[in-house]
Amino acid sequence: MMSFLSTRPFRRGLAYIGALCIGVTLSFAPTAQAQVNVNLSGFGSMSNKFPIVVADFAGINGTEIANIIAADLTRSGQFDVKRVGVMSTDSSGTPNWAALAEAGGGQNVVYGSVSGTTVHYNLGDTAQQTNLQSLDVSDENMRRQAHKVADAVYEQSTGVRGIFATKIAYVTGSTLFVADADGENAQAVASGSSIISPAWSPDGSRIAYVSFETGKPVVYVQNLSTGARQTIANFKGNNSAPAWSPDGSQLAIALSMDALSNIYIINSNGGSPRKVTNSPEIDTEPFFFPNGSGLIFTSDRGGSPQIYRTGLGGGEASRITFNGSQNVSGKISPDGSKLVYTSMRGGGYSIAITGLGSGSDQLLTSGPNDLSPSFAPNGMQVLYVSGGRLGLVNADGSFSTTLPSGGGVTAAAWGPFRQ
């Protein structure tokens, strides 16, 4: 165990949290699952959701594609989805709008056809009896086809970019997995020793993480396309908690090379680190503001773990969390307006969210062991770890669900938008 986690309640608390826990040797590894599973526990009013019908797509894999689209929209917590079979159309391809409206009970309908590696998709308005959106989605992977269609439906309906075609990363003991945003199609990308603190590069091509394969925590960056990886930080003491700068050129890391732990910035291809904080206590878990103006980090400098902010040039740090006996693992929303973090309330860890500068917060989950929060790239949902499983909750707390992972999860991170 790290020496700086061994004495005070803060250090014991942080050791309890997966992002900072070392020596974890969980052996269970999830397998990719073929079925789409949406386990719902939403509590938002159904009347506040968009009613929508998803029809089977005509052609090979048309039912499977429709199932994935329906599951994506349902999992957003913003749609009341009904499934129907293939739509009937006349000789010109015009759907039977009246029959569809009566069968589906929703104003909008998703329908289309599959031809080879191309999905022709339509979003129809049954009241206006017209298509709101039509496009072709070409991809050799059926799941990506479906996710891209769901993204188009989501953006057309809400005005917000969809996140269904993005990726997530999560750790189960000694293995780092990358999966689709619905938790399916999980692929192992790194294994062999305890791994913690996965962090996506802004372009989604690389993941930084900490591995203990040499007997101490070392920061690596791995290219997801080639599998090649580079040692970024292997200095004296502990090297941990990597976080990418918005432009991907730098990493903020926690190093104990000359103290308990302070925040440093280092080039994303390695080099000499530059010290940002200088505290006699523990500073760890850095995260950049999306505009690159500064950092947040966790520190016990005030006697208990709380989240602070500072500029990239160092200087005085200011505390930004005040509710809860411990507040750790902070992440800033993509628009820079909100902070999500793990908060100890009543003896358990829950996920909390606050508007930066507002002074008030909201608990998104009820605990008691909810850790490692991460915003979706559109800021609408938060991925987290709950009792060893992947949890998902809307950023307004209106809906929650779980994702397939197999269990034993210790850390998670939502990847960025990709072109």
Q: Report residue 75 as tokens.
A: 């999992």
Going by pLDDT thresholds of 50, 70 and 90, the confidence category of residue 23 is very low
Higher-confidence position of 183 and 17? 183
Does the domain made of 50-158 have the CATH classification 3.40.50.10070? yes
| Span of 16-20, 139-143, 283-287, 324-328 with lowest mean pLDDT | 16-20
Going by pLDDT thresholds of 50, 70 and 90, the confidence category of residue 306 is very high
**Alpha carbons 172 and 310: distance in angstroms, whole number:** 32
| Span of 24-28, 250-254, 372-376 with lowest mean pLDDT | 24-28
Q: Is pLDDT of 45 > 70?
A: no
- pLDDT for the residue numbered 359: 75
**Alpha carbons 62 and 70: distance in angstroms, whole number:** 12
Going by pLDDT thresholds of 50, 70 and 90, the confidence category of residue 419 is low
Mean pLDDT of 168-186: 96
Map residue 106 onto helix, strand or coil.
coil
What are the residues facing 312 on neighbouring strands?
A: none
Count of residues in the chain: 419
- pLDDT for the residue numbered 104: 58
Q: Where in the chain is the domain with CATH 2.120.10.30?
A: 167-415
Higher-confidence position of 158 and 48? 158
Highest mean pLDDT pick, 31-40, 185-194, 251-260, 372-381: 372-381
Q: Is pLDDT of 367 > 60?
A: yes
CB 229 within 8 A of CB 221: yes
Query: What are the distances in angstroms from CA 198 to CA 93, 170, 179, 246, 338?
Result: 48, 7, 13, 16, 21
Q: At what angle do helices 142-158 and 62-75 cross, to 10 degrees?
A: 40
Which runs of E-coded beta strand occur in 234-388?
239-244, 250-255, 262-267, 274-275, 283-288, 294-299, 306-311, 314-319, 326-332, 338-345, 348-355, 361-363, 370-375, 381-386
For 218, the enclosing helix (H) or strand (E) is strand 218-223
Q: Where in the chain is the domain with CATH 3.40.50.10070?
A: 50-158
DSSP state, residue 6:
S
CB 399 within 8 A of CB 77: yes
Going by pLDDT thresholds of 50, 70 and 90, the confidence category of residue 357 is confident
- pLDDT for the residue numbered 41: 41
User: Of 291, 342, 335, whose CA–CA distance to 321 is shortest?
Assistant: 342
Mean pLDDT of 323-337: 96
Does the domain made of 167-415 have the CATH classification 3.40.50.720? no
What pLDDT digit, counting tens, does each position of 385-411 carry? 999 999 999 999 999 999 999 889 999
Mean pLDDT of 230-236: 97
Higher-confidence position of 331 and 32? 331
